[in-house]
Structure 1
Amino acid sequence: MEPKEFPAVKETPAERSAAPAGRTMRAIVQYKYGLTDALQLDTVAVPHIADNQVLIRVRAAGLDRGAWHMATGLPYPVRAVSGWRTPKNPILGLDVAGTVAAVGAAVTRFAVGDEVFGYGKGSFAEYAVASEKMLALKPAALTFEQAAAVPVSGTTALQALRDAGKLQAGQQVLITGASGGVGTYAVQIATAMGATVTGVCSAAKADLVRGLGAETVIDYAREDFAAGGRRYDVIIDVAGNPSLKRLRRALAPGGTAVIVGGEGGDRWTGGLFRPIGGMLLSLFSRQRFVMFMARENAKEFERLGELIVSGKVAPSIDRTYPLEQMPVAIGRLDAGEVRGKAVIIV
């Protein structure tokens, strides 16, 4: 198959030596919606960069639930962004860690050769593009694999607890989906903030969640977290399927439930009605229900890097996969088999 055409990379003569020869790269691409049957290894042209962007030689890329939504185009409202009939951007991947290969004319914070991590575009490939403001220098203590597991999931957990949940030391926090990409960070960050953590996950992953700092672990297949008498000051709902009624029963008077994402539901609505319903309930109750979406940026990546270097937080990596096995990794994510984060090695 002939390489797909993209505009040429903008670069200075000094940067030209760092850009890839031949202007082609290997990438996992999709030209239709789906999972393992729609994803394939292909040779495509290296993407161009704008004046405020950085071209990254990808060393590792994190796999998050957002990649599943973009790959499947579900729920259908996702396609308003990703393309109605076919994907607008055939290369998935947002979490990225690698080396700067070229910089745009307006970039001032990075130079060719810098090791960076952050939020990019099309990171399941040998080269990816990121805005300067969405990148941070990679701490020397972190491997590329560890750094690639941080940006999306780590930022989501940090902001859900700190900003949306207003978590304080000494509070009781419940985290559903505690063994996933966001959940494993949430358990550790909440513990580092001085909270007492209860994690909800499968029995097979209870050891992971307990090892990350959860005082109590609930097996969702055997126990309803809302059935007992325990009440929580903050609930971080990552699993995406508990009813609002159950969340209200488990939430303390004056407590806050942060609904992360919109999993569950049907192909048209996904889980969107649940957080909207929760916000309406908040108008008539002391309990707060917050619909939450993370805001990725370099400062948050730097903060997370500091937490990891200090030993308070550690990326929980299930397995690493070579680029060509990315479809296998997303298949395991779809099946609920990933513990923490899966990382693609390029």
Structure 2
Amino acid sequence: MSTQIHEADATARRHPIAQTMHAMVYDGYGNADVLHRTELPIPRRLPGQLLLAVQASSVNPIDYRLRRGELKGLLPFGFPRVPGYDIAGTVAECADDSAFQPGDRVIAYLDHIRGGACADYAVCSIDVTAKLPDSLPDEEAAAIPLAGTTALQSLRDHGKIQAGQRVLINGASGGVGMFAVQIAKSFNCFVTAVASAPNEAFCRQLGADEFIDYGEVSFTETGARWDLIFDAAGKSGYLESRRVLSDSGRFVSTEPDVQGMMMSVLTWPLSKRGKVMLAKPNADDLRTLIDLYERGKLKITIDSRFPFTELGAAHRRVEDGVDRGKVVLLNG
């Protein structure tokens, strides 16, 4: 393949880049069988952006929900689509005056509304990209961006977490919950983990102080109180959780449905507030998560690994329900 020079800036630093790349795409909504490999033009880097060579990614529930068409009212048209928001890889091209240089190992939480990570190359803004330390392998790094950012922003920004609080994480063993338990512990909180009975040991290894088996009892019926309830699984609601919130307690959910959006508006004046959050890509948050990893306060658990070419199987794995950690994709 011939070499193409991207003239996004007057001067740019780059590795030689071919004109086309392999990508996993879907041309219409449907089950995981619609995912297939194709060849696409390499995306053009614009000023303020980096072109990244993708080494690894991961699958999040939003990926299969978009593929199934659950949000087609918000994201119509625009096929073929390249799914995925998490990237671990290297800088392939950047501006001459960039803080990055070609070959830098990085992670990124893509700021494109439709994704784009499951390809040989992707572009993203500089301010959603963070350099990786040598201590953090690509496959673990790829699990961090969306899930880790969701957990961090939910607890810190929306939950207003404070040291010494009682924090409950519903769905504690899953991709987001895994991060949330450890982040809450880094704030020196007392953490209650809610998951299925077989995941108790795993949740306690993450640092949970207390465990509730949702198959035996609902946390809303225990009579206990929490200062912050984070529903990482999107399976509980504000109304039932409100009675086990302490005065001025907060409920945060990751389920962006109409009922949840109404909750955010209607409870804003109340002492016990509810909030549905949508994570925002942010390099500073990625650096915070990397720092927790380097200080031994954040461990990454990988449920399973798939090559990019088996993206359909990876989607099905997440749709079926992942008990512990993240599903990671490896390119090559």
Structure 1 residue 132: Cα displacement: 1.1
Structure 2 CA distance, aligned partners of 1:13 and 1:330? 40
Q: Residues 111-159 of structure 1, C-alpha deviation per residue, up to 9 Å, x if partnerless? A: 1111111112411111111111111111111001111111111111111
Tell me: CA distance 1:321–1:280, structure 2 relative to 1, closer, same or farther (3 Å). same
Question: How far apart are the structure 2 equivalents of 1:248 and 1:170?
Answer: 20
SS, match of residue 79 in structure 1: coil
From 272, 279, 287, the equivalent of 1:287 is 272
Task: Give the number of equivalent residue pairs.
Answer: 324
Aligned to 1:115: 105
Distance 1:14 1:173 in 2: 47
Find the partner of 1:220 among 192, 214, 237.
214
**Contact 1:50–1:104 at 8 Å: present in 2 too?**
no
Tell me which of 289, 297, 301 is aligned to 1:316: 301
Say whether the 8 Å CA contact 1:177–1:201 is kept in structure 2.
yes
> Corresponding residue for 1:56?
52
Q: Please list the CA deviations of residues 246-266 of structure 1 after superposition, one character each: whole Å capped at 9, or x if unmatched.
A: 21122112211112232xxxx
Give 5+ residue unaligned stretches, structure 1: 1-6, 263-270
Q: Distance in 1 between matches of 2:119 and 2:80?
A: 13
1:34, distance to aligned residue in structure 2 (A): 2.0
Equivalent of residue 136 in structure 2, options 125, 131, 142: 142
Which residue does the alignment assign to 1:168? Answer: 162
Q: Distance in 1 between matches of 2:32 and 2:142?
A: 22
Kindly tell me: are residues 201 and 10 of structure 1, through their superposed partners in 2, closer, same or farther at Cα, counting changes over 3 Å? farther
Residue 42 of structure 2: aligned partner = 46
Corresponding residue for residue 3 of structure 1: none
* Correspondence 1:32-111 to 2 at 5 A: 32-74=28-70, 78-83=71-76, 86-88=77-79, 90-104=81-95, 108-111=98-101
Matched, 1:28 2:24: yes
CA distance in 2, matches of 1:9, 1:293: 33
One-letter code aligned to 2:55: R
Three-state SS of the structure 1 residue aligned to 2:30 is coil
CA distance in 2, matches of 1:65, 1:10: 36
- Structure 2 distance, partners of 1:310, 1:282, is 36
Partner of 2:16: 19
Match of 1:306 among 279, 282, 291: 291
Distance 1:89 1:209, change over 3 A: farther
Shift in CA distance, 88/42, structure 1 to aligned 2, threshold 3 Å: closer
Counterparts of 1:273 and 1:316 in 2: how far apart (Å)?
Answer: 32
Could you tell me which amino acid in structure 2 is paired with residue 26 of structure 1?
A: H
1:49-88, CA deviations, whole angstroms, 9 ceiling, x for partnerless residues? 11221111111112212212221221xxx224432xx444
Runs of 4+ in 1 over 6 A off after TM superposition: 11-14
TM-score, normalised to structure 1, is 0.87
Shift of 1:241: 2.4
CA RMSD of aligned residues (A): 2.2
Please tell me whether the aligned partners of residues 174 and 322 of structure 2 are also in contact (alpha carbons under 8 angstroms).
no
Name 2:152's counterpart in structure 1.
158
For 1:180, the equivalent position in structure 2 comes to 174
Q: Return the alpha-carbon distance in structure 2 between the equivalents of residues 129 and 248 of structure 1.
A: 42
Could you tell me whether the CA contact under 8 Å between 1:174 and 1:200 is conserved in 2?
Answer: yes
Tell me, in whole angstroms, the C-alpha distance in 2 between the residues paired with 1:170 and 1:35. Answer: 44
- Between the aligned partners of 2:158 and 2:264, the Cα distance in structure 1 is 14
The residue identity in structure 2 corresponding to 1:38 is: V
- Aligned identity (percent) is 36
* Match in the other structure for 2:318: 333
Q: How many Å separate the matches in 2 of 1:205 and 1:164?
A: 27
Cα deviations by residue, 1:8-53 (Å, 9 ceiling, x for unpaired): 743689745x2333x2222111001123121112222221111221
- Find the aligned partners of 1:206 and 1:246 in 2 and give their Cα distance: 23
Equivalent-residue separation in structure 1 for 2:326 and 2:78 (angstroms): 24
**Is contact 2:173–2:325 with CA below 8 Å preserved after alignment?**
yes
Q: What letter corresponds to residue 99 of structure 1 in structure 2?
A: T
Normalised by the length of structure 2, the TM-score is: 0.91
Q: Distance in 2 between matches of 1:306 and 1:320?
A: 24
Residue aligning to 2:259: 273
Unaligned runs of 5+ in 2: none
Distance 1:205 1:322 in 2: 27
Cα distance in 1 for partners of 2:263, 2:124 equals 35
Indicate yes or no: 2:249 matched with 1:255: yes
1:311/1:318 Cα in 2 relative to 1: closer, same or farther (>3 Å)? Answer: same
